Structure 1
Amino acid sequence: MHLIRRCQAAWLVLLLACTPLWAADTVDINHADALELAAKLSGVGMTRAEAIISSRETVGPFVHPDELVRVKGIGPATLEKNRDRIVVGLSDRDVPR
């Protein structure tokens, strides 16, 4: 388990080092993978990033950034720190009919 966490941390550091500045501005919480979420959202590590993905897979896509607080460990303070970075992209299949 510790080896997995170390590998995840190493990949995160590599991702941060290789991410161009223009790409670091926003993150689509409906389509980003755990590494991207952890890299681009302040106060969100791999555990919370995986919880975001789990929430969107079980509850459904986020319709508004405020819905991010439904994820355990993400409260109003974390949401506010990241509000300008969060994008909620919906595809046609995500929109309820």
Structure 2
Amino acid sequence: MKKLFIAVATTLAIANPAFAAVNINTATQAELETLKGINAAKAKAIIDYRKKAGAFRSTDELENVEGISPVTVDLHELRKDISLTGPTTLKKEAKPAAK
């Protein structure tokens, strides 16, 4: 049982940094730009839409944002990295090895 617990804890510790979620209701432009398929213009459009229409109630509402559609952004992949609540947590990038 102890070995199982250690194995599960180790797996979670290793896998944890791989998870990321950008809260589209509170994220800054820079945070939104970390999402695959979201450039500066699309990030600004998300923020503008959020200011005008209020908080996103569903990830499907992203299709209402100017410049974002299933043709321009892979919404299925995008939904894996966004949330509507909670803090924005970004993936930690690997640091280059010291010389």
TM-score, length of structure 1 as denominator length: 0.64
> More helix per residue: 1 or 2?
1
Higher alpha-carbon Rg? 2
Cross-structure match for 1:32: 27
Amino acid in the other structure paired with 2:37 = G
* CA displacement 1:32-76 (0-9 Å, x = unmatched): 00000001x111011100100000000111001111111111112
Q: Name the aligned partner's letter for residue 66 of structure 1.
A: D
Q: Which residue of 2 aligns with 1:42?
A: 36
Separation (CA, whole Å) in 2 of partners of 1:23 and 1:49: 22
Which residue number corresponds to residue 79 of structure 2? 83
* Cα-Cα RMSD: 2.0
Any stretches of 5+ residues in structure 1 without a counterpart? 1-20, 91-97
Runs (4 or more) in structure 1 with deviation over 2 Å come to 21-24
The alignment of Structure 1 onto Structure 2 pairs a total of residues equal to 69
Letter in 1 for 2:68: I
Higher RCO by CA contacts (8 Å cutoff, separation 6 or greater) = 2
Counterpart of 2:58 in structure 1: which amino acid?
H
**TM-score, normalised relative to structure 2:** 0.62
Aligned equivalents of 2:66, 2:38: Cα separation in 1:
11
Report SS of the residue matched to 1:80.
Answer: helix
